[in-house]
Amino acid sequence: MNWSERAIGDQSGRTFVVTGANSGLGLRVARVLGEHGARILLACRSESRGAQAVRQVPGGELVRLDVAELPSVRSAAGEIRERTGDRLDGLVNNAGITWPPLRRTTEGFESTFATNHLGHAALTWLLMAALRGAEAARVVHVGSIAARGGGLDLADPNYQRRPYRAYTAYMQSKQANLLFALELDRRLRAAGETVRSVAAHPGMTRTELFPNATRSGGPRATALLRALNPLIAQSVESGALPLLRAVTAGDGGEYYGPSGPMEIRGGTGRARIPHSAANPETARRLWDLTAELTGVAPDPAG
């Protein structure tokens, strides 16, 4: 039997943070959790778009967060801890970008790696005290089928020496998400923690993420992908199900996604973890590099 929203149950008294919650998958996850009684902190870069989203989410509140900028991550984490009284039941690291031209953050990081991995890793570590304040809290890392492509270069993650390729940068960031999720789970278990680290991906979903990503390729590429998107991708409602399962019922160290061919669409099940993303040594090196680049102390520290 396919997992569905009916399995979520009452979420009254629980508090969740969803990054990138002003549209698409993030908004859908926030809305469903809110409809089930939860308090939802929508962590959004745009205050105006975030304010519009909050009006669509029962129990919704806005938190200003630009996950690509570490000062914003630190500020948002402090605000979240204060507003929740250090009790947070779930964190959904959903915000992301796909194939932008080469851009650098104020810290000098390549923007896709900074947005999709570094900022979320830092936010997770900074919120760990609040996650410990709830019973069996979950951190959900949103992956992608693109993680199978590899591309992670720990010697040059910010494209300071190698030629920049937008899609390779995206694959790298998504593999980093999965490596980090599994490494966090290993460390939480080793420390005897009750917080769970879970990964999920939406397959191919009809959001604006990929059509918007083709803008650098010109209007024809954008128009083509907009035309193909409804034909090959599933609805936002279906794409959000693996994320909702992960944050409400996910087991630590698991990876959820669509169960259809190539995990592009279909009912929610356990997704295949690419061999390269399951390498503990690579995950350990990424963990250490992430701490070095962000300047945030890893938690758990061991």
Q: Where are the alpha helices (DSSP H) in 24-158?
A: 24-35, 47-54, 70-84, 111-113, 119-126, 128-132
Report the C-alpha gap between 16 and 292 in whole angstroms.
Answer: 28
Report the C-alpha gap between 186 and 287 in whole angstroms.
Answer: 12
- Per the annotation, the verdict on 167 as an active-site residue is no
Cα→Cα distances 288→180, 231, 248, Å: 11, 42, 29
Nearest to residue 144, comparing CAs of 177, 115, 121, 117? 177
Report the C-alpha gap between 188 and 76 in whole angstroms.
Answer: 23
Residues in the chain: 302
From 159, 170, 255, 256, active-site residue: 170
Which residues are part of the catalytic machinery? 170
